[in-house]
Structures are given as structure tokens and as C-alpha cells.
């Protein structure tokens, strides 16, 4: 499908879909700040997080283990890819090296995913090898999206917008849920920064910026009280003023996701 110039620009700049092909890129580069504005995380902070890596070892996306062989990630992480592109790693704050690792058997992408607007940005991977360890609980109650509720996002992504400082050790940052009205004014209909759709998305972050998820955190978890409430989806740059992180609104998709787990 042909994309408009605007959509293509939005895709490249706002979403940062240009990933490195190198392995453990940025592992030895400048530290501060992390994820953006965050800190190191332990796997015990959120044991269901997995690294959705490239088969060649390079950073790509995050994901969340929902069953021994099922991983929730973002549709934009898998769009146009075949299973052989991926290698999934779990049970460790290290992005590669186990204790759980698997190739991907099959990819299911939300059929209503819109690659121009990023509505319905979720997908489920089926692994070839079962992972041990705890699986995530999906939040079902949309009341968790009350503005100001503290949430945590985790990942191995870059530490600044446009940087290639991908991480090999897990990072996390706390970000409050943003009201629908604040997110809609940051990303109004027709905005070149992208558009917020409150049925499929939820925002988190600070009006003044400084803390956010960033490139290669996509597909990873946004968590409240240990439950999965969001999937890292997009943003205009990372951690900028009035440019919140936008997450797939998990409570909207619980039935659709559970249907995939039953397969």
C-alpha cells in the first residue's frame, strides 16, 4: 500500500522506524539519560518482558509474555516481516543470551492495524520454544487510565530521540497516564506530529517532557500495579515538550488478544 509523504515522514521521524542492523548497538556509548530519563531495571521488576530482537542479534522491539509460547508486541514491529526475521529472548535483563530464547513460529497482526495512523497497533507472536517464568496479566478495567495514574514503561530502546544508543541492559521509567484531552491537544486530528485516537491509544508522560519510551522500546510493556495496560507504539520524537508517549490501549483488545492465546 502506498503511503502519503506525510505518513512516510511521520513514520520515519515520529516513529523512528529506522533501526540499526548492528548487534548490541550503543552498549558502550554515552550513558545518560536512559530509556529516556529512566534507570536500570531488574527482570524481577517485570518478569514477563521479553526482547523481540532481530535474528542477527540487533535491537528491534520489546514484547510481553502472555503464555509460554505467546508474546504480545506492536503491529508496527512485525508489519512486513517474516518469522525468520526475529529472535526472542526472555527471563533476563540482558537483551540477549537467555535463559529463555526462541525463534518465531508464526506472526498474527491485528487485522485492523492501520500503518498510517497506528490505530490497533498490536500483534501476537507464537514461539517455537516454550518460555518458563511468569506471564503477564492483561488489565481489563479502563478506569486505570485515569489521568495522573503512575505507570512504568520498560525496554532496551534508545536513550534519546534520534540516537542510536540502543541498550543491552533493561531500563525503566515512570510516566503518569495523560488525560484524553491533553493527549488530543498534543496530537490533534490532522497534526503532522500524529493523531491521538482515544479508543485505540492512551498517552503517558509529562507536559514538560524528559521521561519517555523511545525507539526500539516499541512493542514493550506499559504497566500499572503489575498489570499490562499499554504497548509502546509511537510518539513525536521522544520525551519532548507536549509530545507524550502513545501506547496501544490494552483494555480495548483483551478479547481479541485472548482469542490468540487460545490457539
- Hey, which residues are catalytic here? 76, 121, 218
Among 216, 222, 250, 257, binds ligand ARG (CB under 6 A): 216
For residue 169, with 0-12 CB atoms within 10 Å meaning exposed, 13-18 middle and 19 or more buried, which class applies? middle
For residue 79, with 0-12 CB atoms within 10 Å meaning exposed, 13-18 middle and 19 or more buried, which class applies? middle
What is the closest distance, in whole angstroms, from the C-beta atom of residue 132 to ligand ARG in the complex?
Answer: 27
Using DSSP, state whether 255 is helix, strand or coil. helix
User: Is residue 234 involved in binding ligand ARG (CB under 6 A)?
Assistant: yes
What is the closest distance, in whole angstroms, from the C-beta atom of residue 138 to ligand ARG in the complex?
Answer: 20
Among 110, 160, 214, 228, binds ligand ARG (CB under 6 A): 214
User: Is residue 165 involved in binding ligand ARG (CB under 6 A)?
Assistant: no
Q: How far is CA 141 from the centre of its chain?
A: 20
What is the closest distance, in whole angstroms, from the C-beta atom of residue 245 to ligand ARG in the complex?
Answer: 3
The residues with which 224 forms a beta bridge, in sequence order, are: 227
User: Is residue 121 involved in binding ligand ARG (CB under 6 A)?
Assistant: no
Query: Could you give the CA distance from residue 220 to residue 222 in angstroms, rounded to a whole number?
Result: 7
Q: Is residue 233 within 8 Å of 246, Cβ to Cβ?
A: yes
User: Is residue 218 involved in binding ligand ARG (CB under 6 A)?
Assistant: yes
Q: Tell me which residue has its CB nearest to ligand ARG.
A: 235
Residue 15 or 48: the one with the smaller Cβ distance to ligand ARG is: 15
Stretch that binds ligand ARG, among 11-19, 22-30, 63-71, 186-194 (CB under 6 A): 11-19
Q: How many CB atoms lie within 10 A of CB 99?
A: 13
User: Is residue 38 involved in binding ligand ARG (CB under 6 A)?
Assistant: no
The closest alpha carbon to 53, from 73, 35, 39, 68, belongs to 73
Using DSSP, state whether 219 is helix, strand or coil. coil
What is the closest distance, in whole angstroms, from the C-beta atom of residue 14 to ligand ARG in the complex?
Answer: 8
Number of residues that bind ligand ARG (CB under 6 A): 16
Q: Buried b / exposed e across 107-119, counting CB within 10 Å, b at 16+?
A: bbbbeebebebbb
User: Is residue 166 involved in binding ligand ARG (CB under 6 A)?
Assistant: no
Among 224, 238, 250, 257, binds ligand ARG (CB under 6 A): 238
Query: Could you give the CA distance from residue 96 to residue 206 in angstroms, rounded to a whole number?
Result: 31
Stretch that binds ligand ARG, among 135-143, 178-186, 188-196, 227-235 (CB under 6 A): 227-235
Interface with ligand ARG by CB under 6 A: which residues? 15-17, 157, 212-218, 232, 234-235, 238, 245
Amino acid at each position: 500500500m502506498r503511503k502519503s509523504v506525510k505518513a512516510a515522514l511521520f513514520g520515519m521521524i515520529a516513529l523512528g522506524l529506522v533501526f540499526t542492523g548492528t548487534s548490541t548497538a550503543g552498549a558502550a556509548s554515552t550513558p545518560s539519560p536512559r530509556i529516556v530519563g529512566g534507570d536500570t531495571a531488574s527482570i524481577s521488576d517485570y518478569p514477563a518482558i521479553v526482547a523481540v530482537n532481530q535474528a542477527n542479534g540487533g535491537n528491534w522491539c520489546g514484547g510481553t509474555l502472555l503464555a509460554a509460547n505467546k508474546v504480545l508486541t506492536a503491529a508496527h514491529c512485525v508489519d512486513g516481516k517474516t518469522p525468520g526475521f526475529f529472535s526472542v529472548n526472555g527471563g533476563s535483563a540482558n537483551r540477549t543470551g537467555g535463559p529463555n530464547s526462541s525463534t518465531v513460529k508464526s506472526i498474527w497482526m491485528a487485522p485492523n492495524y492501520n500503518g498510517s495512523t497506528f490505530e490497533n497497533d498490536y500483534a501476537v507472536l507464537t514461539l517455537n520454544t516454550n518460555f518458563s517464568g511468569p506471564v503477564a496479566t492483561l488489565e481489563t478495567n479502563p478506569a486505570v487510565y485515569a489521568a495522573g495514574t503512575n505507570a512504568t514503561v520498560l525496554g532496551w530502546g534508545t536513550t534519546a530521540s534520534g540516537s542510536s544508543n540502543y541498550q543491552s541492559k533493561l531500563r525503566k521509567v515512570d510516566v503518569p497516564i495523560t488525560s484524553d484531552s491533553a493527549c488530543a491537544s498534543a496530537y490533534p486530528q490532522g497534526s503532522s506530529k500524529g493523531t491521538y485516537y482515544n479508543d485505540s491509544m492512551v498517552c503517558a508522560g509529562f507536559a514538560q517532557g524528559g521521561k519517555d519510551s523511545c525507539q526500539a522500546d516499541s512493542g514493550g510493556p506499559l504497566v500499572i500495579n503489575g498489570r499490562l495496560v499499554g504497548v509502546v507504539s509511537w510518539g513525536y520524537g521522544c520525551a519532548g515538550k507536549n509530545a507524550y508517549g502513545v501506547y496501544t490501549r490494552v483494555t480495548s483488545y483483551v478479547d481479541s488478544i485472548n482469542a490468540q492465546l487460545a490457539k
